[in-house]
Amino acid sequence: MSSRTQSEILRLEHTRNYLRPGDVSTALRLWKDYVHRPERQLWHGYEWGDVHWYCCGNPLEARALLDTVMQAMPARNARELRRVVSRFDAVWNRPSTP
């Protein structure tokens, strides 16, 4: 990401009451790690609940936070962040193999 977008993220993290410093990078990491998990682990987490979410963060809430941040950003910066997030979304939306 460009330094301009990173600066905008830092500004938002310091001026919005729903963000703390580092929240956006944490949300990106959680979402990226989650979508790259094997389908079997994803299904197990869905069926039985994922106890690690209590300590380590919920990737679905992280994805929702990314949407909120992209809406709060100026259009140019939001497009850049959206490109990064859309790569992870593409993995998430990939059809499963039989």
Q: What are the pLDDT digits (tens) for 45-61? A: 555 565 566 667 788 89
What phi and psi, each to the nearest 5 degrees, are found at residue 89?
Answer: -60, -35
Specify the pTM: 0.82
Give the span between the Cα atoms of 97 and 77, in whole angstroms: 35
DSSP 38: -
Question: Across residues 29-39, what is the average pLDDT?
Answer: 86
Q: Does position 69 have pLDDT exceeding 70, yes or no?
A: yes
pLDDT score recorded for residue 87: 95
